[in-house]
Each structure stands twice: as C-alpha cells, then as structure tokens.
Amino acid sequence: MTTIMGLELSGRLAVLVGGGDVAGRRLRRLLEGGAQVRLVAPDLAEGTAELAAHHHVEWVRDRFRPAHLEGAWLAHTATGDRTADAAVVAACDAARIWCVNAGSGAHGSARFTAETRSDDVQIGVVSASGVDPRRSGRLRDAIAARLREGTLPVRRVREGAGSVHLVGGGPGPEDLITVRGRRLIAEADVIVHDRLGPTGVLTELEPGVEVIDVGKAPGRHTMTQEQIGRVLVDRARAGARVVRLKGGDPFVYGRGGEEVAACLKAGVPIEVVPGISSVIAVPQAAGIPVTHRGVAGAVHVVNGQDEVTAATVSALNDAATTVIVIMGVSAIGRFTAAALKSGTDPRRPVAFIENGHSPAQRTIRTTLGEAADDAARHALRNPSVIVIGEVARADLLLPVSDLALERA
C-alpha cells in the first residue's frame, strides 16, 4: 500500500543515478523541488549535461557504488538497465534511504506522483495498489482541466497575506475570460465587480465569498472611484485575496491604472490579468475586422463621452484608419458633425454593434451622413461599439461570387 506525503527537499541531498534523457527529466523535477543533487553516471546525454552544468550539479563521473549515497535523503535511479537499477534500490534499502526506480516503479521504495500545480497548490496522483502511471496521468489531466476552468474549490482556508488581482473579464460571456482569470476568481475571498463583464461566473462561487457590486450606469454610481480603491486596499490589508473583476481589459478605458496606483500607494501587492477588450471583440462578433490588409492598417479608439479632438477628426478623414467609438451612441451626432464639417465623405461606412457577444446583440449598418438619424430611429442604446471606416462595409468579407447576390 502506498502512502502520499509531501517531502521538503529544499537544500537536502538527492542522489540521481543515470545520465540519459529520462534521468534529465527527473533531474529537472528534483531541481524544481529545491534539492541539492549528486548525479552519478559515466556519461551524460546532451540535454542532461546542459541542465546539470546550468544548475552547477555535482557530477560523479563513475558507475554507481553504495558510497555515493553518503549524506543522501532520497535516491533516484534511472539508468535504463534493470540490473543496475535493482542494485541501486538494494543499496538504498540497506542504507534506509527512500529510492525511486524509474524503470520499475513497483520495485522502488518511493514513487513520483503524476503532478499538477495551480498557483500555490500542488496536487499529485498515484495508484494506491500497484503501478498504473497511465491511469494516474489521466486523473491528473482531468484535475488540471478543472483547475484551469476554476470549477474546483481552491480558496485558501488558512489566513495569509492579502492581495489584489485586477482581472479583465472580456466582453461578457463566461467562456471568453482567460484561464488565469477564471482560476483567480475561484480562489478569491472577495469579488469586486462592475456592471458589465462575465457576471455569470458569480453564481459559481463558493459560499462565504464576499461579492461587492460597484457597477456604474448612467445616473447610478454605487461607489466613487476613490471608494473602490479603498475597498480593494482595506480587504487586502485584512488578509483577503481580492479579485477586481472588470469587463473587457482593465487598461482599456477600464480605469485600471487608477486602481493599481491606489494599491501600490498603500503597499498592497496587485497583479493585472489582461482581458479581451470590447474594442476588438465586439466588432469581431459582428464579423468586422478592425484592420484588414489593403483596406485599413490603423485603428483610432475613442471614448464617446470625450470631446471630439483634432486627432479624432484627422482619423475620421483617413480612409485607411478605422475609428472605434465605445459607449458613444448618445454622442454620435457630435462625431458625425465634426467629421462632415471637416470634409469627411458622408458615405463612409458605419456599424453600430449593440450588446455585443450577448443574445441581444444587433448590428445596424449605415453611413456617416445617416448615422445619427439611424441611431435614433432604431433606438440604439449603450453598451454599444461604433465602427467607422471601410471595414464596416457589409460586403467586405464576402467572396467575389457572393457580391452579386448580396447586392441583388
């Protein structure tokens, strides 16, 4: 019967016998565990030699003798020769040193597990009776997949130092958040979230997770930006792992920089996890590439709540530049008026994508000269992304053979 336990190898001597590729892989694992390694082999494979040299491993250029075990806490034999491996195991048994036998796991006194890691959690799988590495590997892979999806209870129970993770949640659907973002949400003690983004993941949280809604909407600001920063700092200082969940990417009109600055000023560790920005993802959901070879090679992004600057007018006048306006439905009249006044072609294509990446998504295509009237006629609302430029043409991606049908 096999018993699983964690070994603290940091700074302790482990003897590895063998110099081939298998020994090289086991050498890497021992080094990752912090072991001080004595490598015993007459010759080394190229990769094993490079790894040993890089980490200043003690190399005994000789065939194994029991004296090589002196001072060892653990031994590992990977010679590729069953007789030689058996001799190492026998010497270890006599010296009462645990020994892993790479060639025959059943004939060693210790075994490595099929291992996976998730942040500070290390998980190993091993068969309790008999050696079955394929079964252990399949179970390990299944657990690793669940960890990546954030569907296992991995929240820290014992108190530790608090931290903040600023996670970009993407344009809305839960399956468009990054693997790292999903895992951090599963590990969090506190979630501070906005109105937009993958709020569906909040239904999957463990009981006891504190969820704080700080979403802003026209006429409704639950908290000021300064108050949000204080919440992040206070919860982290209390020892919580805080996830600040935002829609899109935190650093693209997400005010993420202000929240990072607040945490750094308070001495609170913070990590930023990027997300898929709606600037690119929402047009993509409508079949619109923001750049297209031979059509548009530059992108100008602007917040619809801002004033129309000279740089934006210049971009609107450049046929090779795509202009993206986010949250700008109510301001489209200002943009079109400024563009038309400067001489922009009123026939320039425009696309409104409302509620992108959701069941309520709709796309309205028009022109610069008609955009303001069409927005009112279709009662368009935010959240919307407006694409202005040749890439917004409805026939841009159609095969030539389909153009006649499209225009018929």
Q: Residue 48, Cα to own-chain centre: how many angstroms?
A: 31
Alpha-carbon span 133 to 53, nearest angstrom: 30
Please give, one letter per residue, the 3-state secondary structure of the chain. Answer: CCCCCCCCCCCCEEEEECCCHHHHHHHHHHHHCCCEEEEECCCCCHHHHHHHHHCCCEEECCCCCHHHHCCCCEEEECCCCHHHHHHHHHHHHHHCCEEEECCCHHHCCECCCEEEEECCEEEEECCCCCCCHHHHHHHHHHHHHHHHHCCCCCCCCCCCCCEEEEEECECCCHHHCCHHHHHHHHHCCEEEECCCCCHHHHHHCCCCCEEEECCEECCEECCCHHHHHHHHHHHHHCCCEEEEEECECCCCCCCHHHHHHHHHHCCCCEEEECCCCHHHHHHHHCCCCCCECCCECEEEEEECCCCCCHHHHHHHCCCCEEEEEECCHHHHHHHHHHHHHCCCCCCCEEEEEECCCCCCCEEEEEECCCHHHHHHHCCCCCCEEEEECHHHCCCCCCCHHHHHHHHC
**Catalytic annotation, residues:** 194, 216
